[in-house]
Chains A and B, each alone.
Chain A
Amino acid sequence: DAGVIQSPRHEVTEMGQEVTLRCKPISGHNSLFWYRQTMMRGLELLIYFNNNVPIDDSGMPEDRFSAKMPNASFSTLKIQPSEPRDSAVYFCASSFGAEEQYFGPGTRLTVT
């Protein structure tokens, strides 16, 4: 089992550019989560999908953030336009139902 796969691992971009983060959950898992981790705020849940449907996006900071899950094996988190305050580590996690969440290695985003 390859675990949760995220790409890219590191992203450096300039303010105003579009950023797309990608996630492949563990096969068979029906829940997918996007988190953001910063020094100041720790781990924050951005959005939760169940069976490919967004259930809770109350953690998405603002309209510049959007997430999609077109099928059970792929999800994207997009930031457009990006800002320096978006710099953080973004984690994707998956689970089966309410069982423990398995995290990917994260994408370290730096917006200059």
Chain B
Amino acid sequence: GESVGLHLPTLSVQEGDNSIINCAYSNSASDYFIWYKQESGKGPQFIIDIRSNMDKRQGQRVTVLLNKTVKHLSLQIAATQPGDSAVYFCAGTSGTYKYIFGTGTRLKVLA
């Protein structure tokens, strides 16, 4: 599949454990954030989003936390499964079409 990045930070977790992936952003004007999941050979897929007027948003097995004070986002995946293995990107925008993407974190789920 397409090569995303051989030198990405990698998080290895045991199947069934919870995963936490972190992302820092620099633009304090960013007010909308998305987490994307990119599997090998595929394009990024939307997972969950959050607006800056929220601190936390929950989806199915995923939770995004936003700390605007320190400009930090995290994605929590509960009960990590082998199908969660992928590269995860955060992206932010200040209300326009121009998203700034993070470099990504590779999640490896160990059986």
Q: Which residues of A contact B (CB under 8 A)?
A: 4, 31, 33, 37, 39, 42-43, 45, 48, 50, 55-56, 89, 91, 93, 95, 98, 100-106, 108
Contact = CB atoms under 8 A, between A and B. Distances in A.
B93 A89 contact: no
B44 A48 contact: no
Given A45-B98, A56-B98, A108-B2, A102 B46 contact: yes
A interface majority secondary structure: strand
B89 interface: yes
Size band of the interface chain B makes with A: 20 to 34
A105 B43 contact: yes
A31 B98 CA distance: 12
Contacts of B93: 98
Interface of B: 2-7, 32, 34, 36, 41-46, 49, 89, 93, 95-99, 101-104
A104 B45 CA distance: 9
A65 to B, nearest CB: 18
A91 B43 contact: yes
B45 A101 contact: no
